[in-house]
Amino acid sequence: MVSTKKRLEQIENAILVLAGGGAGFAAGRMGTGRAAQAAVRSPVGRAALAGFTYGQIKQELDARDVEVAEREFGPTAGALNTIAQRLTPLPLPLAQATVTGMELGKKARKKTVSKFSKAVSAGMKAAKASTSYGKKGTINNSKKAFTAVTKAASRINKGGKVAKKGVARKIGLAIKKVLK
């Protein structure tokens, strides 16, 4: 069985050596606790720390901090350090703190659909309802239909007129209702 001290050294070495220069630099600059957080954020660091949970690393590093504080400043410093560690919540690694690119606690804002997009949508519905681009309810050549709809929407949006007859008129009237 490996002693706690040996295991701590193994963890620190894994963080410093295998987690890349960024984590090694971080360890030298801000201590191994924060370096462990940096290592957990990187894919290489996660591979290096395979088998160790973030909580285990934090517990062992906290235990070492208490041990050092007791050695240097006496038993009361170690007790105070333990209390401070218990009051400090365990920070989440970055991989767990973000959900689909958004931070926890923030609500996703629904994107607003532009008037032009609504007009194009209405025009596509009109095109789908006609028999010009295939039977009713289907569109055979979607690229051609979309081109016709977007050109009509752009023309009407700029103040142009609706076509006189045919499917272009139906599309134009549907678009004009939205762009009023």
- Give every CB contact of residue 90 below 8 A, 6+ residues apart in sequence: 54, 55, 58
CA distance 131 to 129: 7
The three-state secondary structure class of 37 is helix
Overall pTM surpassing 0.95 (yes/no): no
| DSSP structure class, residue 164 | S
* Residue pLDDT, tens place only, 99-141: 455 555 667 788 899 999 999 999 999 999 999 998 999 999 9
Distance from the first to the final alpha carbon of the chain: 78
Residues in the chain: 180
CA distance 31 to 18: 16
Among the ranges given (22-31, 46-55, 125-134, 157-166), the one the predictor scored with the smallest mean pLDDT: 22-31
The three-state secondary structure class of 106 is coil
The three-state secondary structure class of 153 is helix
pLDDT computed for residue 11 by the predictor:
74
- Give every CB contact of residue 134 below 8 A, 6+ residues apart in sequence: 140, 141
What are the contacts of 140-147 at 24+ separation with CB within 8 A? 146/120
Percentage of residues of the chain with pLDDT beyond 90: 36
Cβ–Cβ < 8 Å for 40, 95: yes
pLDDT of 145 strictly over 80? yes
**Domain boundary assignment for the chain:** 4-103, 115-179
Cβ–Cβ < 8 Å for 51, 71: no
| DSSP structure class, residue 16 | I
